[in-house]
Amino acid sequence: MKHNITRDDDAVSAAVATVLLFGGVVSIIGLMLVSMLPIIEELEGSIERDDMSAQMMVLAQQTEVLSEHGMPGDSTEVTLIPLDGSLSWDNTRGGMWYSSTWLDDTTFRMKGILDFDDVVEIKHPESKTTAICYDDLRLGPTRPFYYSIPEWVDTLSISAQQGLAAPLGPIKIKLVAAQSTVEIIELPIGESHIVDSTTHTDLKLESNHELKILAYSGQGGAIMATPDKPNKLDHTGRSWNIPLPSGDAIIQVVSKEANQITSTVNGVETRHIVSDNGDSRVGTHWTTTLSSIEPTILAISSSAPSRVMVITETSANSGIVNLRSNSGSFIGTEFLAPQLPGYLEITNPTESTATATWKGGGISVDGLSTELIAWPPVGVSGAPLIDIDIDVMINWYNNDSNTVGLGASLVPAADTGFSSGKEHMFTTRNSNLLDKISTQIAGYSSTWNYTGSTTFNHSSSYANQFYQFPADAGVHQIKVIDDHPLRVFRVSGNSGLVEIIHDGAERCLGIDTTASGWITTELPWESMSGRSELQILTSWSAGTHPSSYSANLIASNGRTDYTTVASAWIFHISRLTYEFTSSITGMEVAYSSGAVLTNHPEFLPTVLKQPNDRSGPGPRFASTIPALNPTSDSTVGAGVMELDIELAYRESLASEIAYEIRRGWYSPYGAAIANSGASGLDESLDWTVYPGNLNLLTDYVGWVPDPSIGTSEAVWHTNGDPIQFSLQLSSLDVTMTEAVE
């Protein structure tokens, strides 16, 4: 059979054209898909952002309720369900700060406070800046309080520091001697504990909560007890919880006003009314003697701002008390002295002659010298008020005429007026090398000089904080040559009493500068600039760099150069971050200190929820900072995550009348928070006519971005009215685990 095969060129052409057309269509579709992929990814990113934003809002609402209304031990649970992204903790890029001033027509600004180095810039142009004092807040569950104990101390009387909402369970205290743990103490709230320190060398206490510690040798001595919550302006208080050893103790409460005093010992409460005699140069006082077989806690509350003196050596031959001036520092021009028999020593750290007067008497004190006065003055029945024309220091001795100067005390710094500094000058009155001087570093490293019965230089470090040496009677001077400040203790005789503060507390630097611009100061801790996150976390735990800290500005108020005119609180707070990929990488939704933030789309910082604050009625402002602190066993990842959030404690940082309140935020969201917080400012006619001029802004109350520094900082504006300012910190321990189905 024969087949005829013919070529149909038209059919071949049609087939080839069909294939090419199909290939072209496929190519066009492919190109369309490639061009649409960023749009698809952006839509997916929008879904990711919206979904996690809603979940973060729930987290913010839950933490807000817990931090403002909860009590220690209260907890809440939140479940976060990621889509394609992952949850993690950002420990070093989250942070914010508040500042406030305590005097009218006063400003206080800071720069470089969250960048991990040891340089901080401050600005206070209205008066002379005398000093600045820093306190490590030890914020977070892995950052214990450390208390280093001087060699001369025999016994410690310990209790928990009282706060707005203290922990529920017992406080864990680790006793470390020569860098080895020798004992772990579980101390219930409201109870005291005695530690014999003579059996240990190089003793340090490590506690998960702040402590109140009285340290004494022999029969003890005398102290001016620190209030549970000292007033920022004058350091007076209204409540005290003091761990007393067994035996007798004399308690005196002094105030400038009439007073109602409530004292509680061993569950027995008594009340006392002290009336004012109407004399402006004499304050009120109440004195009692307590006797206890066992160590106990003395609780005192007063209706008026007061000071409390405690004497555990009742035989009147040992005890030295540094009196605080009415401006709050140990150096000043007005003091309320005790109504107790003994001696008063006035030290003039300046080169000019000082004149001190009180009701019925007075004395002149030459420059760089001291004068001793029998106390109290004859014919004065109340607590005498002492006025001086220049700044001086005053000590009260619980001694008779034959033993003046016996006891132990902290020596205030002459350059700062507080417990630490770079210059110390004092006089001891006992010969035959009866005196001991003990220095403790209030920083990370220090080289200093001693001039007195001998002269020498010495270097101290954070690892070797103390240096003790004998000294004969006479004038002693200690000056820091390089680096960080010191605390100085003097011990005369075999008995003495001091109050121990934690190693990161009250590190003060003398400035003594009047400037309209920025002043560069050092942060007295080790610089962690450029270090890894692990190194930073380790330094926070060890106390070599503060995770969060407060700053108190010491400046002139017109009468004295040593008064606290402003304060600031700076927080490195971990932020919870949800990271996902959109058309570009690096997108996130974050929860940080009460705010919900995102940089989607395209790295545009956006505030989804403002941080918590309350205002009104009237010129009032209150804020509670929820500080989420991940525990060491928290996990991260992309699975379904369950957050168990527990309120560890709530602390009142300030509750005072303030005149200027500022808030700053860590970048990149600082500008967005400052601007979004001032959303109502656009409706102000004054701001439209006079942009950037706070003095002429009269039709608006609220946050105003500060144009002179940058929009990452904002001022709470109230038309010049004093502000009832309340600031609280709630420490929230959070454990994040992956849900197991």
> What was the pLDDT predicted at 3?
56
Single residue among 378, 404, 430 that ends a domain in this structure? 404
pLDDT at 37 over 60: no
> What was the pLDDT predicted at 102?
96
Does 595 fall in a domain? yes
pLDDT at 22 over 90: no
Does 549 fall in a domain? yes
> What was the pLDDT predicted at 636?
86
The mean predicted confidence, pLDDT, of the chain is 90
Measure CA 399 to chain center.
36
Does 43 fall in a domain? no
Residues 274, 374 within the same domain:
yes
- For 603, left (φ over 0), alpha (ψ -120 to 50), or beta? left
Out of 30-44, 91-105, 716-730, which region has the weakest mean confidence (pLDDT)?
A: 30-44
pLDDT at 234 over 70: yes
Single residue among 404, 422, 453 that ends a domain in this structure? 404
Does 11 fall in a domain? no
User: Any idea what the CATH number is for the domain that residue 468 is in?
Assistant: 2.60.120
Query: Tokens 């305590």 appear where?
Result: 102
Does 431 fall in a domain? yes
Residues 249, 365 within the same domain:
yes
Residues 705, 594 within the same domain:
no
Domain count, the chain: 5
> What was the pLDDT predicted at 711?
66
Residues 244, 389 within the same domain:
yes
Does 64 fall in a domain? yes
586-591: long-range pairs with CB below 8 Å, 24+ = 587/45, 587/48, 587/49, 589/49, 589/52, 589/53, 589/56, 590/56, 590/90, 590/94, 591/56, 591/59, 591/60, 591/63, 591/628
- Whether the CB-CB separation of 603 and 579 falls below 8 Å is answered with no
Out of 28-32, 81-85, 162-166, 224-228, which region has the weakest mean confidence (pLDDT)?
A: 28-32
Q: Would strands 474-483 and 423-428 be described as parallel, antiparallel, or unpaired?
A: antiparallel
Q: What is the pLDDT of residues 353-368, one digit of tens each?
A: 999 999 989 999 999 9
Structural domain including 490 reads 406-503
Residues 629, 692 within the same domain:
no
Partners of 157 in the β-ladder: 194, 214
Q: How far apart are CA 322 and CA 179, in angstroms?
A: 32
The predicted model gives 540-567 an average pLDDT of: 95
Residues 345, 426 within the same domain:
no
> What was the pLDDT predicted at 202?
92
> What was the pLDDT predicted at 469?
94
The predicted model gives 429-454 an average pLDDT of: 89
pLDDT at 20 over 70: no
Residues 277, 201 within the same domain:
no
Does 1 fall in a domain? no
Residues 157, 129 within the same domain:
no
Structure tokens, 463:
């690892």
pLDDT at 166 over 60: yes
Single residue among 384, 404, 424 that ends a domain in this structure? 404
Residues 609, 653 within the same domain:
yes
Q: Give the dihedral sign, CA 124/550/134/525.
A: negative
Residues 498, 527 within the same domain:
no
The predicted model gives 95-115 an average pLDDT of: 93
The predicted model gives 30-56 an average pLDDT of: 68
Q: What is the pLDDT of residues 383-414, one digit of tens each?
A: 999 999 999 999 999 988 778 889 999 999 99
The predicted model gives 313-338 an average pLDDT of: 92
Residues 369, 235 within the same domain:
yes
> What was the pLDDT predicted at 554?
98
Residues 387, 252 within the same domain:
yes
